[in-house]
Amino acid sequence: MAAASPAPAGPVGEAEAVETEAVAAGPVEARPVGAESAEGESGGDPVPAVPAPRAEPGAPAGEEPAGLDGLAAVARSLSGTAGVIRDAGRVLTAVATDPALLRSLGRSPRSGARALFALTRTLVAPTGLGYAPDGAGPGRVARLGGVLTSRASLAVDVAVTALKLRIRLCAVRHPEFVEEGPVRRMLIAVEADKQLLALRILRENVRAQGGARTLAALAPCLAEVLAWNALVDENPFNDEAAWHVVQGTRPDSDPLLGTRISTWARWDRGAGRAVAEPPDPELLAGFDNGGGVTAHLRNLAAIGNDGRMIVQRVKGPDGVTRYVALLPGMALGLPRNPTPQDLVGAVTAVGRNDSPYTRAVRKALALTVPDGAEIALVGHSQGGIAAMNLTELGEVNDRWRLARVVAVGSPIDFKRPRDPRTKVVSLVNEHDVVPNLEGRSPASVFPVPADWLEFTWVDPTHDFPQCHNVDVYAQSLDKVVPEARDRVDDLLAPFRGHVEETVVLRLHDR
């Protein structure tokens, strides 16, 4: 049964509005995160938590408790407030360490000393901003010292409260975040600033259920959980990524270790190259030319993810010739391989819009699509990232009209098409870990742009990486959320018709 997501709640606006569809068994009576001890594993008193949203009496099965939109707004407000407090700490740090203030001590020792004392007290006193030094130079050194010694910060406390409320909202559809079990015990350990205990619980869960299922259980709020952990651990290098998650902006590093995307980009090199393969009658005969989104996904499954893509020339129902480009996801195996579809390329593409994959696809389009033609890009996983990256590039938009983008299981939420006419669709299984890679979880309180169409749903199997597979996405759209499939097919209607030509191209880094 379909139920609206807590955030963003859809539909909003007209046909292109944001919609989130979730398959749910019904409302759950959520309990506070960490309201009880984890059977002694937390090693301390019960930790505080935000109140749980309650289902209204008599609410139909499949509907969520009323008031979730209001709680999502509160979570966004808390996130913004945390950022303002952090900025205030940076400003006060800059003033307190300004050489002009220090020089004023010589001219007016008493007034200067009082001012410096007041600034310092506000920066470090529990009654002020907690421990709030931040910024460049001395502020950075002081902040690192505070992180390493676990000094309390008002900004961090407010940010953590916002993250906890977001997890609470996520728990309405995913009760594993509040019911007794390894996920809840791990959150209690994070709350108590016991990262080693959290890792031990995670390791035990991996042994019991496997790493894939463990990740799938965390996937609906993985970004929030990692950001929460980053803000309270003793690693100062992952804090910046955590703050991006808190404020709903694009991070440039990961919230686990703090590794910057630029580090990965050093290994993702190549001008990109595309070569049309000779026609394979057997392969072409197996393609589904129905033109719907699930047909395109089945065609992507047919070519695999070994470095190939598909371009189809289609005469639409109005007699106009248009083009559909199908972009597959990341290849399994080594982090680097001769194709652009490797792990290094996928991580880089999340934060960069120009990569060997996008360069290779541009050259593939140049070989097969005339200038000025309309194109629909359908991409799975890394292919969806590449599709959105193409929409951000001016030279691509100047040459072709990128009319549609359908990204399936892709972390694309912080990318923005250069052409406002481009219609974007994002399809996400909430237990798929991959869409979390850019720091926005499927149950985020930060909505995508109002002219996007977003559908998310709950996979009852919780199996990852199986739920990320392109053929599983096709099955889910047909059987779990057919209403999402139909909406996307309506959007692709101009690109459905007689397939006049299908070209399979091989992509290379160099």
Residues 242 and 227 sit within 8 Å (Cβ to Cβ): yes
CB neighbour list of residue 370: distance below 8 Å, 6 or more residues apart:
none
Residue 20 near residue 454, CB atoms below 8 Å: yes
Average pLDDT over residues 338-364: 86
Contact (CB, 8 A) for 241 and 258 = yes
pLDDT digits 0-9 by tens, 222-244: 899 889 989 988 888 899 999 99
pLDDT at site 337:
66
Q: What's the Cα-to-Cα distance from 121 to each of 100, 113, 118, 497, rounded to whole Å?
A: 19, 12, 5, 70
More confident site: 330 or 211: 330
In degrees, to the nearest 5, what angle opens at C-alpha 45 toward C-alphas 40 and 46? 90
Sign for the CA dihedral angle at 348, 212, 411, 399 comes to positive
- Residue 2 corresponds to which tokens in the numbers above? 């379909």
Who's near 354: CB < 8 A, 6+ residues apart? 389, 393
CA 88 to chain centre: 28
Distance of CA 258 to the CA centre of its chain: 16
d(CA 247, CA 242): 9
pLDDT tens track for 14-50: 333 334 443 333 333 333 333 333 333 334 433 334 3
SS3 per-residue string spanning 303-352: HCCCCEEEEEEEECCCCCEEEEEEECCCCCCCCCCCCCCCHHHHHHHHHC
Give every CB contact of residue 422 below 8 A, 6+ residues apart in sequence. Answer: 391, 402, 403, 404, 405
| This prediction's pTM | 0.80
Higher pLDDT, 497 or 149: 497
- Of 292, 142, 149, 166, the residue nearest 227 (C-alpha): 166
**Torsion sign (Cα): 14, 18, 23, 27:** negative
Of 416, 249, 50, the C-alpha closest to 241 is 249
Task: Report the chain's mean pLDDT, rounded to a whole number.
Answer: 83
Rounded to 10°, the helix 482-491/470-479 angle is 100
Q: Are strands 321-327 and 374-380 parallel, antiparallel or unpaired?
A: parallel
Q: Does the pLDDT at position 198 exceed 50?
A: yes
Strand, helix or coil for residue 423 = strand
Give the residue-averaged pLDDT of 183-208: 82
Quote the pLDDT of residue 375: 99
Q: Is 296 helix (H, G, I), strand (E, B) or coil?
A: helix
